[in-house]
Structure formats: C-alpha cells, structure tokens
Amino acid sequence: MLQRSMPMDIVKGREKAAAILMIQCGLLALLCLLLGLLIPFAGIRVVDLSDRGFAVSLLHGFSQQLFLVATVESRSRGEPLRFAIQNLLRALVIFGAGWLVAIQYQSVTLTLLAEAVIALVMAAGIIHHAVSRSRLQIAILCRLAIKRLGRLPWKSAIALLGGALVGFVLTNADRWIAASLFPHAMFAVYAFAWIILAVSQSIQAIISSSLFPAMARDYASNGVRSSFRMASMWGLGLILIGLVGLWPATVVTIWAIREWFAGYVSANPIIPLFYLLAIIRVSDFWTGFLIVAGRERAVMNINIFVAIAGLLLLVGYSMHQTGASVGLLELAGFACLLSFLRQIIIVIYSFGAAR
C-alpha cells in the first residue's frame, strides 16, 4: 500500500499524507514485533531457538522491514540513485560491524543484534528526513498516524496480501512438487535448473523497485492509460529481448553444463522451458499496473483461478497417467503452462482496466 500511495501523494503535493502513511506502516511493523515477542512469554516454542535468540531474530526482521519502509520514500520521489546509495551504505556498514562483532564475540545472537541496531538507526534517520518535508513535528505525525489507522483501506491491504500469498504459491509450486515427488538426485537436477528462474525473479524485483513507483507517479499525473503504456512498453520490450536471446542463452547454458557441471547434464532438456518461463516472469509488469490502478482484488482472483486450474490439471494428469511417474520435462511444462495462462489473463484484464 505504501509503495502505491506514497508516490501518488508526493506527486499531488500531499506530503503530510505521505508522511503519515509511512509512519503507520512503521507502527504496524512494530505491532507485529511486539505480538511476536509475546510468543516466548506464552511458553510457545515455534523454532529451536532460545528465547533470547528468538527475540533478536524478530528484532532483526523488524529492522529490515522498517528499512524497507524508509527507503520507499526515495523511490517514490523518482530518485533511484539515492535508493541505491542507501542500500549500499547499509550493506557496507552492516557487513563491517557484523564481521567485527562476529570475530570479537563469536556469537550469532550478538552479530544479528548489531546488524539490527545499525539498520534501525539508519531507518530512523531516513524516516526523520523524509517526514520533515511535511513541516510537522514527528510527535504530531505519530498521533495523527495512530488516530487514522482505522481509515486505512484494510480491504485493499488484505486483497494485496492474499494475492501475494497465492502468487508466491504459484511461483514455487513446481519446486515443492519436485521436492515431494522426485528422488534426491532428480530434485537436485531440477533445483539446479531452477537457478534460471531465481535469477529472473531477482532481475524482475530490481526493475520493479524503480518501475512500480514510476508507474504510480505516472498514474497520478497522467492517468491510467499512460501508466498502462509504461507497463506494456517494459513488458513487451523484455519479452522481445528474451525471445531474441532465448536460443543463444540455451546453447551456452547447455554447453556450460556439459563442460563444468556434468553431474547435472540431465537438466539440459528443461533448460529451454525454464528460459521461456523466465521470460514470462521477468516481463510481468502488468500485475504491477493493475495494483497501481487499484485492481488488487482482480489480481488476487486471477491468482486463485490459476491455482485452482493448476490443481485440477494435476489431478486430471494423475488420473490419466496411472502408474506413470512425473518427469522433469512434464513438471517444467506444467510450470510454463500455469505462468503463460496467468500472464494471458493478466494482460487481457489490463487492457480492460486501461480503457
């Protein structure tokens, strides 16, 4: 919600609204931390950690979440260089301090605590600088943020969460199926080839970190059609680049596996499918457009529909292939089919939303 609303608020000059929303996100993250800290006090043990280790782990997670909230501001203003510098400085300082604490005290808990403290200090500084543009004291903004928590679009937030969870399942379903069905050696081959998809998703996330707030700013300034054109330009451009590079990338990858990773040579037949799947996933900016346009419920419903279709497809395949085992090629094809189906539906719906 913050990544969508903050760029729009800034474009429209609503600095106070942007600052309040940022503080609300930080307060909600703090609430999750406090609720999590109640778990060891209730005598519930969810992981094999000491109470202190569990508490520090939660604090570390909170610090990373707060830093993400803080750096939304630089991206929302269309300043990717400042965003990159913020992340680079955090990485360098945390690496140096974490290394020193680890060497000095030989303690994982203290190392995580040091990293958490550094991230919290940096996040607090960024947030303080960001909200200063509202020309209101931080205490006043905090009171307003608490008072207006009930006004947040909770239904939209829940739809976004639901869509993200189902989307996460769709993205990783084939890997989970492989882990449950394949022998260890066969799963290792599939997971090795899956590196292509992991890289593509990282590339997509990096591009979206700047493109999504840019679409939100464009939506606020020029309307839904302009934002749709931006998403389509990037999506179709990456599809074209991916299709041009599909054959040479496949040839080079298969050659490299034969030369240097001979133990995984049985992954070669699914390499073209995984590159095709990577093209589909890395070019999906229409989902971001729908979220910017306030169609998060449609995204959630599409994800649910595709998940149900995939489940029915698996059931139907298992019924008609009695006694036959699922192979690497079949599972990779299943993943491609689901992603292609989802992409087609998302694009068609985006056309309708842009009218």
CA angle centred on 65, ends 44 and 282, rounded to 5° = 115
- HSE-up of residue 37 (Cα within 13 Å, Cβ side): 13
Q: 152 with 35: CB under 8 angstroms?
A: no
DSSP 3-state of 323: coil
CA distance 227 to 286: 10
Query: What is the pLDDT, as a whole number, of residue 199?
Result: 92
State residue 324's pLDDT score: 52
**3-class state of residue 153 by DSSP:** coil
Distance from C-alpha of 181 to C-alpha of 185, rounded to nearest angstrom? 12
| Identity of the residue numbered 310 | G
Contact assessment for residue 223 and residue 285, using Cβ atoms and an 8 Å cutoff: no
What are the structure tokens assigned to 303, written together?
């994800």
Q: Which two tokens stand for residue 155?
A: 């239904």
Rounded CA separation 334/5 (Å): 36
Report the chain (355 residues): mean pLDDT per 10 consecutive residues.
88 89 92 87 71 86 92 89 91 92 88 92 91 83 89 89 91 89 88 92 89 92 93 95 93 92 89 94 93 92 93 80 69 91 94 87
Q: How far is CA 269 from the centre of its chain?
A: 29
Q: Quick one: pLDDT at residue 62?
A: 93
pLDDT at 132: 84
Q: What distances in angstroms separate CA 208 from CA 195, 203, 285, one per listed residue?
A: 20, 9, 8
CB 221 within 8 A of CB 303: no
- Given a contact cutoff of 8 angstroms between Cβ atoms, the answer to whether 40 and 28 are in contact is no
How far CA 91 is from CA of 86, 94, 101, 177, 307, in Å, comes to 9, 5, 15, 35, 37
CB of 69 within 8 A of CB of 2?
yes
For 179-187, which contacts have Cβ atoms below 8 Å and span 24 or more sequence positions?
181/325, 181/326, 181/331, 186/266, 186/328
pTM, entire model: 0.87
- Residue 244: C-alpha distances to residues 30, 274, 280, 286 (Å): 47, 15, 14, 21
User: What pLDDT score was predicted for residue 321?
Assistant: 66
Residue 97's nearest CA partner among 66, 67, 121 is 121
Please tell me the distance from the alpha carbon of residue 62 to that of residue 34, in angstroms, as a whole number.
Answer: 10
